[in-house]
């Protein structure tokens, strides 16, 4: 076979074109990560050499950090890094635990220039990244004033709505002129604007659910509203890799928490059966209700929830589903209505569907 007849799947093995592996349909093998039928995802397992060297380097960093802390303590090396003011060193308990400060000072500081890079233009297809230099090994940064025009592959601009002209930007300008920038009030007082009611009706129609509510920030939506849905006496079964906002909301609610392996429907079924049959592990009381917290598309993994199996489980075990479609709303499915559209599931099967306007819609909330 000629080299053009082969395609490289995982960078190592070449398979003939037209084979099922080349199309992206994963065969069920040891590393398949429980993909459901019809899924077009494939995962590459980390090579052993890579993981070993990563762990070794990480361990080396930590050892060097502790050695340098020791050297500073015995006075061999001067402490050039930020310390708390004099008045706090006597009698006050140090604000940060020792590992936290060692990690930030010696490990994170080395690679700090990769994060928090400021940009000076719209986060569209191309943007201007501002140049920064550091004289003191990434402790502080100075902007040089120059910008680098770069292709943007990192913003959550999935549908390209981050633009300065066009109907969306014009609508935003008109809204500012009509309603002002902020209402200085909460929704219950003088904060419910007519345009917000319009948005809520539109969102409900878009997603295919009876009603919708909008909030000012996606993180706050999860962390403040989950305590209203679950409380003490309920059970929350959440995916192990859920977002920090979901975890914070679930912790604040006071419900009992059980986690299942990422996207593993068999593990979820096992945990559901155990919960219903045995109740709370210590008191043995039956749970008042069981809510399953999952995401449509996981932001760190890029994996998609096998929604058909999940809905089948929910119907069999009478649980409720809270689906966080922060990333998938607007960009998954033929009509862009999210993972329900992608899998062909009726959205009214989901009890609570959460989404954000920050990603596909280019706004915030």
Partner 1 sequence: MASEAPMSIYDAVIGTVLNAPTYHLAVECILIIGILYLIFSKSYPISSAKDALTLEEEEELIRDWQPEPLIPPPNPDAEVLRERIITGTPGPFAVVDGKRCLNLASFNFLGLVGNQEIEEAATKSVRKYGVGSCGPRGFYGTFDVHLNLESELARFLGTQEAILYSYAFSTIASAIPAYSKRSDIVFADEGVHFAIQKGLQASRSKVKYFRHNDMDHLESLLKKQKDEDVKNPKKAQVTRQFIVVEGLYVNYGDICPFPKLVELKYKFKVRLFIDETISFGCLGRNGRGVSEHFEDEKYGIKDVDLMSGSLEHAVASIGGFCCGTSYVIDHQRLSGTGYCFSAAPPPLLAEAANVALKMMAEKPGEAA
Residues 177-196 that bind partner 1 (CB under 8 A): 177-185, 187-194
CB of 313 to partner 1, least distance (A): 12
Q: Is 327 a catalytic residue?
A: yes
- For residues 327-346, which are near partner 1 according to CB under 8 A? none
The answer to whether residues 108 and 62 touch, using CB atoms and an 8 Å cutoff, is no
- The DSSP element (H or E) to which 138 belongs, if any, is none
Residue 320 in the binding site for partner 1 (CB under 8 A): yes
Closest CA to 361 of 335, 339, 336, 333: 336
- For residues 232-291, which are near partner 1 according to CB under 8 A? 243-245, 248, 251-252, 273, 276-277, 286-291
Q: Is 359 a catalytic residue?
A: yes
Return the residue of 69, 155, 225, 261 that touches partner 1, per CB under 8 A.
Answer: 155
Per DSSP, the three-state class of 16 is strand
CA distance 346 to 54: 44
The active-site residue, picked from 36, 121, 299, 308, is 299
Q: What is the DSSP string of 211-231?
A: -----S-HHHHHHHHHHHH--
- The DSSP element (H or E) to which 198 belongs, if any, is helix 194-207
Q: Is 308 a catalytic residue?
A: no
Residue 127 tokens, joined: 């943007």
Residue 217 in the binding site for partner 1 (CB under 8 A): yes
Residue 61 in the binding site for partner 1 (CB under 8 A): no
| Contacts with partner 1, 111-150, as mask; x by CB under 8 A | ----xxxxxxxxxx--x-xx--------------------
Q: How far is CA 322 from the centre of its chain?
A: 15
Whose structure tokens read 């809905």?
A: 311
CB of 72 to partner 1, least distance (A): 17
- For residues 41-60, which are near partner 1 according to CB under 8 A? none
CB of 31 to partner 1, least distance (A): 28
Residue placing its CB nearer to partner 1 in the complex, 63 or 176 = 176
b vs e for 147-180, b when ≥16 Cβ sit within 10 Å of the residue's Cβ? beeeebeeebbbeebbeeeeeeeeeeeeeeeeee
CB of 292 to partner 1, least distance (A): 12
């Amino acid at each position: 076979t000629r080299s053009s007849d082969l395609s490289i799947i995982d960078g190592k093995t070449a398979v003939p074109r037209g084979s099922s592996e080349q199309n992206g349909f994963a065969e069920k093998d040891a590393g398949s990560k429980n993909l459901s039928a019809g899924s077009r995802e494939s995962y590459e397992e980390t090579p052993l050499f890579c993981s070993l060297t990563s762990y070794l380097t990480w361990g080396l960093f930590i050892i060097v950090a502790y050695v340098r802390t020791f050297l500073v303590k015995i006075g061999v090396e001067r402490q050039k890094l930020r310390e708390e003011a004099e008045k706090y060193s006597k009698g006050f308990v140090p604000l940060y635990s020792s590992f936290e400060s060692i990690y930030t000072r010696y490990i994170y500081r080395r690679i700090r220039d990769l994060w928090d890079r400021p940009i000076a233009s719209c986060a569209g297809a191309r943007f201007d990244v501002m140049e920064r230099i550091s004289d003191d090994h990434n402790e502080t940064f100075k902007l040089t004033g120059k910008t680098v025009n770069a292709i943007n592959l990192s913003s959550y601009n999935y549908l390209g709505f981050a633009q300065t002209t066009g109907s969306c930007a014009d609508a935003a300008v008109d809204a500012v002129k009509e309603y002002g920038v902020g209402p200085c009030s909460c929704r219950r007082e003088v904060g419910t604007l007519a345009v917000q009611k319009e948005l809520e009706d539109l969102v409900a129609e878009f997603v295919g659910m009876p009603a919708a509510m909008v909030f000012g920030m996606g993180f706050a939506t999860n962390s403040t509203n989950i305590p209203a849905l679950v409380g003490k006496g309920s059970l929350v079964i959440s995916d192990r890799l859920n977002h920090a906002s979901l975890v914070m909301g679930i912790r604040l609610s006071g419900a009992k928490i059980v986690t299942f392996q990422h996207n593993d429907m068999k593990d979820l079924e096992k945990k559901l059966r155990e919960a219903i049959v045995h109740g709370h592990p210590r008191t043995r009381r039956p749970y008042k209700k069981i809510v399953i917290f999952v995401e449509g598309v996981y932001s760190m993994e890029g994996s998609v929830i096998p929604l058909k199996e999940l809905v089948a489980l929910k119907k069999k075990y009478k649980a409720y589903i809270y689906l966080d479609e922060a990333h998938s709303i607007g960009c998954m499915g033929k009509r862009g209505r999210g993972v329900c559209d992608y899998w062909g599931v009726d959205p009214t099967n989901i009890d609570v569907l959460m989404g954000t306007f920050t990603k596909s819609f280019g706004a915030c909330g």
